Amino acid sequence: MSGMFFVLLPTLICFILPTILIFARYRDRSRHVVKPRACKQLGSSPQRELGDWCTKIIDTFWRKRYSYQGREGPIVGLVKSLYIHPIKSCRAVRVEEAEVLSTGLKYDRQFTFAELHESGGNAGSASPGLPGWKFVTQRKYNKLANILVQIWVPDPNSPEHTPDQAAVQSAGVLLVHYPDQKDGADKQASKKFEIPYNPTATQVLAMGYTMEKLTIWKDRPDALLIASTNHTDPPEWIKDIQTYLGCSKPLGLFRVAAGHDRQVFRNAPRKEQLGYQSVIGFVDAYPLHILGLSSVADLDRRLASVVPGISGSTALRFRANIYFNGPEAFAEDSWKRIRIGQSSYYVSCRTTRCELPNTDQRTGKTHQSQPSKLMRSYRNVDPGAGPGKACMGMQMVPAAEYGVIKVGDTIEVLETGTHHYILQ
C-alpha cells in the first residue's frame, strides 16, 4: 500500500497541481475569449516549459524504483505532454488527449504558409529550379513562432449547434492570433482571423479557395489555397502576416487537400507490414515525433555552460508531438517498436536536426548558432544522416490507422535495435 502511495504522489504533484495553478491564473482571461459559434476550444497554448522539477521527480521514481514489466516488454516511462501544431511552424497547442490517425495526431500540420516563386527555389525546396508555391517555416521566418493557433471543435452541447452551422459543417475552425504591427510595434498576438478547419465543397466554392501545386521538400501535392496576397482582393490578415514576417514574395496559406496526402517510404515500415500505406500531410517526413525529456535535460546541462543566456528547457524548440519522462538520456535511440497506452508504434528512425531549434518558441528570437552547434559536437550519432548532422528524438509510424494517446499513458518497449537513417 505504501509503495502505491509513492507511485501516485509524484503523479498528483506533477500533473494535477500544475493544472490547478494554470487554471487559476488564466480563468479570468478566458472570460474575454470570443468563442466561434457552436464550438469549444481544444487544448491550450503552452504556458510553461517542459523539463522542469516535475520531470526530475518522475525520472527518479521511474528509472530507479518503479519501472516494471509490461505485457511484452519493460514499461520505461510516461507520456508527459502532447503537442499539436495545426499550422506548420506556428505556435503549438497542448492537449491532454489526442486521436492518432495514419497521418499522425489529428489536426497536426494540416496547414502551412508558402511563398510564390516565379523561378528558382528556397532553402526548404528540393527542386530549386521549379517555380510556384513553396512551403516556408521558421528556418526562414522565425517570427512564425509568434503566430498563435487555437483549435475550436463542434460542441454538441452548445445551443447554437445545428447541422447547418458553418463551423459544424467544417468540423470546427482555427482561430489564429498574430501580432499587430500598427506604428511598427512588435506586440503580442492581438489581431486574429478565423478559418474553417476542413471546409466542405460548398464552402470551398463560396469562399473562393482553389487547388494549387505546393512544393514541400521533394513532394509536390495538390493543396487547397485558403488565402494569398497574390489574389486581387486578399484578406487583410494575409497582408498583415506578410508584412510581419518580412516576406518580399507573395504569401499564401494552404491546407492539406483530401486524397492528396504524401506517401512515406525511406525508414517507414512498408504497406505489406502495416496493412496500410503510411502517409503524411505537411509534416517534414514521418507522422509522429517523440522526444525524451531526459535527453533534453542532458542537452540543457551542456548548453548552460556554453551559452548562459539561454535559460529554461529547450524542449519546445524541437516541436515534437510526444514528450515523455522516465528512461535515461537517449534511451529512445535504440527503440524499434513501442506501445503507448493501448496502441503500438514503429520507431522508424532518428530525427535529424536543422537550425530551427535555435529559435526560442516563446519569443520567436533566434540565437546565431545554439543549441545546433553544441548538438553537432556530440549528437552526430547516425552514419546515415551524414557528417556533422545532429540527431535528437525519434520519428514514428502508427501500427494502426486509428488510436488514442493520453498524457500519463505508459510507454512499453516491445523491440530494440540499431537505426540507420535514409536521406531524402
Distance CA 91, CA 350 (A): 23
∠ CA 282-286-292, nearest 5°, is 115
Stretch (H or E) spanning 111: strand 111-117
* CB proximity list for 176: less than 8 A, separation 6 or greater: 87, 90, 147, 148, 149, 150, 192, 193, 194, 195, 237
Stretch (H or E) spanning 60: helix 53-61
Per-position pLDDT tens, the chain of length 424: 444 444 455 555 554 554 444 444 434 333 345 789 999 999 987 655 555 545 555 555 545 544 567 777 889 999 999 999 999 999 999 999 999 999 999 999 999 999 999 865 444 444 455 689 999 999 999 999 999 999 999 999 999 999 999 999 999 999 999 998 764 555 565 899 999 999 999 999 999 999 999 999 999 999 999 999 998 899 999 999 999 999 999 999 999 999 999 999 999 999 999 999 999 999 999 999 999 999 999 999 999 999 877 777 899 999 999 999 999 999 999 999 999 999 999 999 999 999 999 999 999 999 999 999 999 999 999 999 999 999 999 999 999 999 999 999 999 999 999 999 999 8
Distance CA 57, CA 81 (A): 15
Distance CA 284, CA 29 (A): 35
DSSP state of 205: H
Q: 516565379: which residue's cell?
A: 118
Q: Is the distance from CB of 139 to CB of 160 less than 8 angstroms?
A: no
Q: 524548440: which residue's cell?
A: 317
Give Dmax (Cα) for the chain: 70
∠ CA 140-144-146, nearest 5°, is 145
Q: Which of 22, 383, 306 shows the shortest CA–CA distance to 314?
A: 306
pTM higher than 0.85 for the full model? yes
Q: Which of 110, 108, 79, 109 shows the shortest CA–CA distance to 96?
A: 79
User: Which residue type does 363 have?
Assistant: T
Q: Which of 198, 190, 100 shows the shortest CA–CA distance to 151?
A: 198
Rg (CA), the chain: 21
- Length of the chain equals 424
Distance CA 278, CA 295 (A): 27
- φ/ψ of 48, rounded to 5, equals -145, 160
User: Which residue type does 290 have?
Assistant: I
